[in-house]
Amino acid sequence: DADVTQTPRNRITKTGKRIMLECSQTKGHDRMYWYRQDPGLGLRLIYYSFDVKDINKGEISDGYSVSRQAQAKFSLSLESAIPNQTALYFCATSATGTREETQYFGPGTRLLVL
């Protein structure tokens, strides 16, 4: 079984709709991250969380919100989707302690906003 899972894997939605992307992990890591990837722009950090009560904005948080429901679950919401949020979204995890910057990625969610 995959250590980091993301649902859905693909999603098509319309402008103005609210959608949620979910991430779950069985690695026992306390840190979780949401990134988006666009062609030519690399990976950009949206939000990150170092434990259940800790939520931090990344470099491109506008238009997004997150919820850390449990240590193993971290959800990303688009409150009102817009076409320029079309991208590949990745969840990642890491563990506090030695080598805590080492991040492991989920399989990704491909989102298309029409």
- Interface contacts to another protein, rule CB under 8 A: 31, 33, 40-43, 45, 48, 50, 58, 88, 90, 94, 96, 99-108, 110
Smallest distance from another protein to CB 28, Å: 17
Smallest distance from another protein to CB 71, Å: 15
* Between 38 and 79, CB nearer to another protein: 38
CA atoms within 13 A on the CB side of 62: 2
DSSP annotation of 101: T
Smallest distance from another protein to CB 107, Å: 5
Q: How many CB atoms lie within 10 A of CB 91?
A: 27
CA atoms within 13 A on the CB side of 88: 11
Q: Which of 66, 35, 29 is nearest to 50 (CA)?
A: 29
Q: Which of 97, 50, 44, 90 is nearest to 71 (CA)?
A: 50
* Between 75 and 103, CB nearer to another protein: 103
Smallest distance from another protein to CB 68, Å: 15
* Between 7 and 104, CB nearer to another protein: 104
